[in-house]
Amino acid sequence: MKLITAVIKPQKLDDVKAALRAIGVKGITVSEVSGVGRQGGHVEVYRGAEYPIDLLQKIRFEILADSKDVQPIIDAIVKSAATGQIGDGKIWVTAVEEVVRVRTGERGSAAI
Amino acid sequence: MELDAGNTAWVLASSALVLLMTPGLALFYGGMVRAKSALNMMMMSMVTIGIVSVLWVIYGFKLAFGYEANSQWYGSISLSGLGDAVGELTNNGGVYPIPLLVFAVFQLMFAIITPALISGAIADRAKFLSWGVFVAIWVTLVYFPVAHWVFSFGNKDGDTVTGAGFLASRGVQDFAGGTAVHINAGAAALALAIILGRRIGWQKSPMRPHSLPLVLLGAALLWFGWFGFNAGSALAADGIAALAFINTQVATAGALLGWILVEKIRDGHFSSLGAASGAVAGLVAITPACAFVAPWAAVVIGFIAGGICALAVGLKYRFGFDDSLDVVGVHLVGGVIGSLAIGFFGSSAVNSLGANGLFYGGGATLLGKQALGVALVASYSFIATLIIGFLIEKTIGFRVSSDKELGGVDLSEHAESAYEMGGILKGGR
């Protein structure tokens, strides 16, 4: 079992959700996050004073998946979230030791 | 003279309009600070309504507009609590057919907003109790006397005028408070910004306005209320009120455009904060001049004021004083522009009580008088405020501890948060 974490541009939220639904992904967790990467920040100007805003808003997806489903999910996210511009985000995959469904107590793959 | 119902109704309505400016100011200022000190910013205005209203009834009105002392510098010292004003008509350099109590409540609203304007200079870092003490002392020693200098034309009985103010009796023109309100508040703001010092992280961390929609709403309420401020100052529903009313509208429009054009050229964008700030700068600049200039001149004055104030708000970075919400750049600079503009654009053809300025063949006489008013009010307010602020700082302290400042004065001074959802990642902290 794996945890797929993807950080994407906020305006790609709906596209990524639709792409994941299209390949049968049932459960996702989405959060609003802030961060800085190669894209850097932007500058805002108030009454002529420039403020560099280095933390940018991003959307973080977290998806639990069977190992065999990881590659299609990554492909779907890359395809739907890419704009070709700097700041499109990142995807990383981590191993998961155990998953438990709270309602039934089911464990492992059955709980995904 | 008989009481005039139409005039009385207009000044009553104007008084309510001017009151609304102070809660409007609370929104204008409150939206400009970070979320952690929004309530404190608004409360500084709200408590000023409370303090000044009470002092006004007890002794403030008499100190500003009394004539019994026959002094150019203050009205009269009396604790009559306005009991002797009931049933009287207004007499301010002549009798007006409106009750003295209507004049008193109209002028009260000016006395409220003037100290409230100062609060923008000390955002995010003042002890609330010390602010309240400051307001009480400042209106007593600065606003009430200065209002007498500028607005009190004395008690006229036959040909005898008693107790006219120093500037008013010298023909210095200030229709609705360019000197007494805006230069007064702006110079005091500079003094308090110096006394309290810069905020922690000033010019390093981004101190963005937390809600520009609140700023725009506040600016809109100020604009709305300002019709009472300026057109109500005619103390009558007449042609002078009409002139002041339209000039207020078109000068503000000109200033809004002037400010955002400067921003577009200098920074590349038309900002909403610039539109709101430009409108206020225009309102400030036309305040002294609104009944003395033609409407086309009001547009010019507004446009110039908007452009210059947009540049003047950068002065604090050059000189290193943290006038947080640009009270100096907008109110002091805008007030000076408007007061001096009368010396150029003033025309006795539009108002028989006015005088001709430089552009109407009046020479530099009026401009000289206007400069006297500007210099006297600005220097008195600046020095007196420095002394008052210094004494408060040395006795009860004026600034909160750095822990409280970093955590937010809403929490330390009021035990409240403006927004339950304000978090680290939303720029709230």
Residues of A within 8 A of B425 (CB-CB) are 32-34, 55
User: Which residue has better confidence, B3 or A112?
Assistant: B3
Mean pLDDT of B391-413: 96
Instruction: With CB atoms and an 8 Å threshold, state whether B314 touches A55.
Output: no
List CB contacts (< 8 A) between B268 and chain A. 45
Q: What is the band of B357 on the pLDDT scale with cuts at 50, 70, 90? A: very high
Contacts of B323 in chain A (CB under 8 A): none
B347-353 average pLDDT score: 92
Q: How large is the average pLDDT for residues B300-326?
A: 97
- What angle, rounded to 10 degrees, do the helices at B295-312 and B272-289 form? 130
Residue B425 pLDDT greater than 60, yes or no: no
N-terminal to C-terminal alpha carbon distance within chain B: 60
Mean pLDDT of B259-286: 97
pLDDT bracket for residue B421 (50, 70, 90)? low
Q: pLDDT over 90 for what percent of chain B?
A: 94
CATH ID of B5-417, from 1.20.1530.20, 1.20.58.110, 3.40.1280.10, 1.10.3430.10:
1.10.3430.10
Q: What is the mean pLDDT of chain B?
A: 95
Average pLDDT over residues B325-345: 98
- Tell me the shortest Cα–Cα distance from B206 to chain A, in angstroms: 5
Burial zone of A58 (CB within 10 Å; 0-12 exposed, 13-18 middle, 19+ buried): buried
Q: Which of B206, B266, B425 sits opposite A48 (nearest CB)?
A: B266
Q: What pLDDT, in 10s, does the model give residues B24-59? A: 999 999 999 999 999 999 999 999 999 999 999 999
Closest-approach residue (CA) in chain B for A49: B314
Between chain A and chain B, the number of residue pairs with CB atoms below 8 A apart is: 38
Residue B10 contacts residue B232 (beta carbons within 8 Å): yes
What CA–CA distance (Å, rounded) separates B74 from B67? 8
Give the integer Cα–Cα distance in Å for B148 and B144. Answer: 6
Out of A23-27, B254-258, B300-304, B390-394, pick the least confident.
Answer: A23-27
The pLDDT, as a whole number, for residue B87 is 92
Residues B76-81 have a mean pLDDT of 93
Task: Sort out which chain A residues have CB atoms less than 8 A from B207's CB and list them.
Answer: 51
Q: What is the pLDDT of residue A55?
A: 87
CB A44 to CB B317 under 8 A?
Answer: no
Chain B CB contacts of A52 under 8 Å are: 206
For residue B422, what pLDDT is reported? 47
Tens-place pLDDT, residues A61-95: 999 999 999 999 999 999 999 999 899 999 999 99
| Residue B429 banded pLDDT, cuts 50, 70, 90 | very low
Over residues B181-209, the mean pLDDT reads 95
- Mean pLDDT (chain A, rounded): 93
pLDDT score, position A65: 95
- pLDDT range class, residue B157, cuts 50, 70, 90: very high
Whether the per-residue pLDDT at B205 is higher than 90: the answer is no
pLDDT of residue A52: 85
**Contact assignment for A48 to B310 by CB distance below 8 Å:** yes
Contacts A46 to B, Cβ<8 Å: 208-209, 271, 273
Instruction: Give rounded-to-5 percent helix, strand, coil for chain A.
Output: 30, 40, 35
Mind telling me how many Å the CA of B425 is from chain A's nearest CA? 6
Nearest residue, CB atoms, A45 vs list B267, B277, B425: B267
Q: Which of B267, B318, B326, B424 to mutate to test the interface with A (most CBs of A within 10 A)?
A: B267
Q: What is the pLDDT of residue A33?
A: 94
Burial of residue B411 (number of CB atoms within 10 Å: 0-12, 13-18, 19+): middle
Chain A nearest C-alpha distance from B302 (Å): 18
Strands lying side by side in the sheet with A89-95: A29-35, A56-65, A2-8, A89-95
Query: Which fold does the domain A2-111 belong to in CATH?
Result: Alpha-Beta Plaits (3.30.70)
Instruction: Provide the shortest C-alpha distance from residue B407 to chain A (in Å).
Output: 21
Q: Which of A49, A61, A5 is nearest to B311 (CA)?
A: A49
> What are the domain boundaries of chain B?
5-417
Percent share of chain B, pLDDT over 70 = 98
Of residues B385 and B423, more confidently modeled = B385
- In chain B, the residue whose alpha carbon lies closest to the alpha carbon of A48 is B267
Residues of A in contact with B206 (CB under 8 A): 44, 51-53
Residue B345: burial class (beta carbons within 10 Å; 0-12, 13-18, 19+): buried
Q: Does A18 touch chain B (CB under 8 A)?
A: no
CB contact (8 A) between residue A44 and residue B269:
no
Element (H, E) at A91: strand A89-95
Query: Does A55 sit within 8 Å of B425, measured CB to CB?
Result: yes
Bridge-based pairing state of the strands B95-99 and A49-53? unpaired
- Asked if B209 and A46 come within 8 Å (Cβ–Cβ), the reply is yes
Q: Is the pLDDT of residue B243 over 60?
A: yes
Contacts of B271 in chain A (CB under 8 A): 45-47
Q: How far is CA B6 from the centre of its chain?
A: 27
Q: Residue B400 above 90 pLDDT?
A: yes
Question: For residue B428, is pLDDT > 50?
Answer: no
pLDDT top residue among B427 and A110? A110
State the pLDDT at residue B161. 93
Q: Would you call A43 an interface residue with chain B, using a CB distance cutoff of 8 Å? A: no
Closest chain A CA to residue B329: A47
Which pLDDT value is given to residue B369? 96
Give me the helices (H) in chain A, please: 13-22, 70-81
